[in-house]
Amino acid sequence: MARIAVIGGTGYAGSHIVREAVSRGHTVISVARSVPAERVEGATYVEGTLLDVPSLVAELQGVDVVVSAAAPRGDMAGKLRPATAELLAALPDSVRLGVIGGAGGSLVAPGGPRLIDSGFPEEYKAEAFEAIGILEDLQATDAAKDWFFVHPAAEFGAWAPGERTGAYRDGDDVLVSDENGKSYISGADLGVAVVDEIETPAHHRGRFTIGY
């Protein structure tokens, strides 16, 4: 079993990853700025933030994988990209980093274009571009650093929660859509996909898309 830390572990994506990892017997640390009243039984909750990477890394000594499920919005807008780069540089090379990004950087078809360049909602572009920047920074890192980056489907969030099916499709860098063109993944099944990647790594220093 792995020791997994989830940054933003009380948020929508993070809490589903925490719940799935605990259910499979992993040791899980949920990191957020405050400890919630409602917790996943079996997880350890600590206070921490990507805005203070040295203190955060000190709290996470001994973990095997760190998953960042923080979003570049609110007071994290414009700060998440440099903080993620600082985090990866500070983590030992033996610790794998996973990042939950957005759908904007995924391709709508093999070879492109990207979703963000194909009628993407203007109000979400700044957040999407920051996530794309994080991916670009990861791709430019030294080969000794292992990481993975997840593009959820276009419809993903608390506004479209769905159920846990335990099934999903991996589209590499192309947005996953069904036969009707709908691109969707539930929070619970994103958790399944992330823990699957932790247990059986298939995307070393790479990104992948998920959906039904």
**What per-residue confidence (pLDDT) applies to 9?**
97
pLDDT at 21 over 90: yes
Q: What angle do CA 47, 138, 133 make, to 5 degrees?
A: 85
**Residue whose token pair is 């919630």:** 36
pLDDT by residue (tens digit) across 128-144? 999 999 999 999 999 99
Mean pLDDT of the chain: 97
pLDDT at 37 over 90: no
Q: Are 84 and 139 in contact (CB under 8 A)?
A: no
d(CA 19, CA 174): 27
Q: Are 83 and 51 in contact (CB under 8 A)?
A: yes
CATH code, domain with 78: 3.40.50.720
pLDDT by residue (tens digit) across 159-195? 989 999 999 999 999 999 999 999 999 999 999 999 9
Domain that holds residue 136: 3-211
Q: How many domains does the chain have?
A: 1
